[in-house]
Amino acid sequence: MQFIDLKAQQARIRDELERRIRKVLDHGQYILGPEVAEVEQRMAAYVGARHCLLVASGTDALLMALMALDVGPGDEVITTPFTFVATAETARLLGARLVFADIEPDTYNLDPAQVEARITPRTKAIIPVDLFGQCADYGRIEALARARGIAVIEDAAQSFGATQNGRRAGSFGAVACTSFFPAKPLGGYGDGGAVFTNDDRLAQVLREIRVHGQSGTYRYARVGINGRLDTLQAAILHCKLDIFDDELERRQAVARRYDELLGGAVRTPAVRPHNLSAWAQYTIELDRRDAVRDSLRQAGVPSMVYYPVPLHRQAPYHDARAMPVAERAAQRVLSLPMHPYLEPDDQARAVRALRQALAA
Residue from 9, 79, 80, 87 binding ligand PLP (CB under 6 A): 87
Compose the 300-339 pattern: x for residues touching ligand PLP by CB under 6 A, - for all others.
----------------------------------------
Identify whether the C-beta of residue 171 lies closer than 8 Å to the C-beta of residue 48: yes
Q: Where are the alpha helices (DSSP H) in the chain?
A: 7-27, 34-47, 58-68, 86-93, 112-117, 138-148, 200-210, 231-242, 244-262, 289-298, 324-332, 344-359
Residue from 163, 179, 231, 277 binding ligand PLP (CB under 6 A): 179
Q: How far is CA 46 from CA 43, 60, 132, 166, 305, in A?
A: 5, 21, 20, 12, 31
Q: Where are the alpha helices (DSSP H) in 77-135?
A: 86-93, 112-117
Q: Does 191 bind ligand PLP (CB under 6 A)?
A: yes
Chain Cα centroid distance, residue 180: 9
Identify which range of 80-88, 209-217, 244-252, 322-330 contacts ligand PLP by CB under 6 A: 80-88
**Exposed (0-12), middle (13-18) or buried (19+): which is 170, by Cβ within 10 Å?**
buried
Residue of closest CB approach to ligand PLP: 58
Q: Does 58 bind ligand PLP (CB under 6 A)?
A: yes
- Name which of 248 and 311 has its Cβ closer to ligand PLP: 311
Identify which range of 11-19, 81-89, 197-205, 214-222 contacts ligand PLP by CB under 6 A: 81-89
Compose the 253-292 pattern: x for residues touching ligand PLP by CB under 6 A, - for all others.
----------------------------------------
Q: Does 233 bind ligand PLP (CB under 6 A)?
A: no
| In the complex, minimum distance from the CB of residue 330 to ligand PLP, in angstroms, rounded to a whole number | 15
Whole-number Å distance between alpha carbons of 156 and 170: 6
Name the helix (H) or strand (E) containing 283.
strand 282-285
Whole-number Å distance between alpha carbons of 266 and 243: 32
- What residues from 104 to 143 belong to the interface with ligand PLP (CB under 6 A)? 129
Q: Does 57 bind ligand PLP (CB under 6 A)?
A: yes
Whole-number Å distance between alpha carbons of 132 and 278: 8
Whole-number Å distance between alpha carbons of 255 and 279: 7
Q: Does 63 bind ligand PLP (CB under 6 A)?
A: no
What residues make contact with ligand PLP under the rule CB under 6 A?
57-59, 83-84, 86-87, 129, 155, 157-158, 179, 181, 191, 193
